A and B are shown apart, each in its own frame.
Chain A
Amino acid sequence: QKEVEQDPGPLSVPEGAIVSLNCTYSNSAFQYFMWYRQYSRKGPELLMYTYSSGNKEDGRFTAQVDKSSKYISLFIRDSQPSDSATYLCVTTDSWGKLQFGAGTQVVVTP
C-alpha cells in the first residue's frame, strides 16, 4: 500500500471555478501535512502546512485534514490559469523525511 495516494488527474476546470484536490495516507504516525505546488521542471513550492484536523485558510487556498479517516483536501477558490500546475500532497511523522504523493495535475482553462 502506498504511503500517500493522490489521483494523478489531469483535473481540468474553467477559470473562476473551485479546484478540489484530495489525498489519503496510510500511516497514522503522520501528523504534519503539507501541500506543495510544482510547475513543470521546477522545485516544489510550499503552499500550506498544518498539523491538526480541521480547516486552515490562506487567501484562496483552504486545506482540510481529517486524521480519523486519513484524508486530506485542498480547495482553490476563484482558480486562475496561473494555478495550472501539479499539486503535491506531502506528509511526515516528525519533521524528518517527507512522504510525497504522486501529485495531481491541474489545468485551469481561460
Chain B
Amino acid sequence: EIVMTQSPATLSVSPGERATLSCRASQSVSSNLAWYQQKPGQAPRLLIYGASTRATGIPARFSGSGSGTEFTLTISSLQSEDFAVYYCQQYNNWPKTFGQGTKLEIK
C-alpha cells in the first residue's frame, strides 16, 4: 500500500500570512491526490482533487500543486476559519490511503 507522509505535523501561522503544507507519496500517484480540511467535531471537507482542482465552493485562496510523489497545499492568506487539520489522500492505487494530517494552528 502507498504510504502518504505529511509535513509538518503542526504548522503555526498568523492570520493573513501564507501557509504551505506538504504531502509525499511512497510511490507515484500521478495527479490522483485530494486534500481535505477537518474542523473539530466535523466531517472532512473536500478542498482539492486531481492535485490542483478546487472543489465546488472552495475559495481561491486554496491552491494545490504537484504530481508524482510530491504535493503541496497552499493557503495564500489565512482566515480565522482556515485553522483546522488538513489531510491528503491518494486514489491512484488501491487501497485509498490518507496522510496522518497537518494541524494548522494560530500563531
A binds B: no
